[in-house]
Amino acid sequence: MGWLKKASRKLVTAVAMTHPRTLASPPPTTLPIHILNYKTPHLHSSTLSPHLNLRPPPRLTYAPPPSSSAASKTMSTEAALDHDTLLKQKRILRTKVKSDLKSMDPAQRAQEDIAIQKIVLEAPWYKSCKGLCAYISCSSLREVDTSNLLSDVLQTTNQDGHSLMGRKLYVPRVEDKNRHMRMLKISSVDDLIANSMNILEPNPVDADGNEREDVMLANDPVDMFILPGLAFDKSGRRLGRGGGYYDTLLMNYQNLAKERGWKQPLLIALSYSVQILDENVIPVAPYDIPIDALVSPSGLILIRQTAFERCQ
C-alpha cells in the first residue's frame, strides 16, 4: 500500500499548491477543475480505499471575548438602572408623605410639636449635652417645630439658675446647590437672617465682622445632631428632600470624629406620627446615613445600639 500513500500525498500537495489558503480565507468546498481532472499514473478509483477521506477539514471560527470596556459599560448601565429605580421609588414615597403632611390637621400638628419638644427637653441625654447641631424648623416645609429647643439651648441659665454658657449650638447654612452646607455657631436668635427661600439661617459673620465657628473646624466635638426629614422608618432609614445636604454633612463629620478619636455624635430625628413608616420601607443608597433614634409624639424610639447605650 506504499504506492497509495505516495499518490495521496501528491494529490494533497497539488491541491495546496494550486489553491493556497490563508487563515482569513475558508478552505474550498470543491476542488478546482484541473485538479479533478488530474490523473495519477497507474491509479484507478477501484483501487482506492473506501475509508480514504480527502475532503478539507471544517472551517474553524473564533468568537472574540468581550472587551473589558464593553463589560464595564454593561455593569455601569445596570448600576444606572438600579440607581434610577431607587430615585423613582424615593420620589413616589416623597409625594405620598408630603400629601399626608398637607392633610394633617393643624391642631394635631401643634399638639405633636409640643409633645415632641417636651420629650427632648426632659431627656437626660439632651440635658447633659455640651454641644449640638440642630435644624431651624420651617413651617412652610411642615417640619417639626424646634423653636423651644433652640430657645432652651441659647438661654444663659437654666431654671435652677445654673450657667449654661458652655453649651454650643450650631445651625445649618446652605452655601450652594452642590450639597454644600455648613453648621455655624450662634449665640442668639438675632444671629439668624432669612435666605432667599425665607428660611432662617445664621449670618456667616457676627456683629463684629468675625467669621462664625464652623463645626467642622471646632476644637471640641458635638454630642448630637437634631435632624429633620420627610419620612423615617423603624429600622433607622431617613428620607430627606432629595438635596443630599445632611447626608453629605453627616458623612464628613463622622469621618472627622473618627480621625480625631472623638465619640460619634448621636443622630436624633424629630418626626410627626404620619412620617413614621414600617421597617425597611424607605429605599436607601450607600450614601444615605441612618439615624440612631427617633422622637415621635408618643415617645423616644431607640433604633441603633449607640442610642440604647446613651439614651437609656
For 51-73, write each residue's pLDDT tens digit: 444 444 444 444 444 444 544 44
Q: Who's near 114: CB < 8 A, 6+ residues apart?
A: none
CA distance 291 to 225: 10
The string of pLDDT tens digits covering residues 286-297 is 999 999 999 999
Q: Is residue 226 part of a domain?
A: yes
Q: Who's near 54: CB < 8 A, 6+ residues apart?
A: 8, 11, 12
Q: Tell me if 169 sits within 8 A of 154, measured CB to CB.
A: yes
Q: Is residue 251 part of a domain?
A: yes
Domain interval for residue 284: 105-310
Instruction: Convert 282-312 to b/e letters by CB count within 10 Å (16 or more is b).
Output: bbbeeebbbbbbbbbbeebbbbeebbeebbe
Which residue stretches of the chain have pLDDT < 70? 1-81, 156-166
CA neighbor of 253 nearest in space, from 261, 264, 245, 241: 264
Which amino acid is it at 223? D
Q: What is the pLDDT of residue 29?
A: 42
C-alpha cell at 251: 458623612
Q: Is residue 187 part of a domain?
A: yes
CA distance 248 to 183: 12
Tally of domains within the chain: 1
Whether this model's pTM surpasses 0.85: no
Q: What is the pLDDT of residue 80?
A: 56
Q: What CATH number did the domain enclosing 160 receive?
A: 3.40.50.10420
Q: Is residue 199 part of a domain?
A: yes
Q: Is residue 262 part of a domain?
A: yes
Backbone dihedral angles phi then psi of residue 265, each to the nearest 5 degrees = -70, 150
The DSSP call for residue 204 is: S
CA distance 307 to 312: 8
Q: What is the pLDDT of residue 290?
A: 97
CA distance 103 to 93: 15
Q: Is residue 141 part of a domain?
A: yes
Q: Is residue 39 part of a domain?
A: no
Residue with grid cell 424629630, as numbered in its chain: 270
Q: Is residue 111 part of a domain?
A: yes
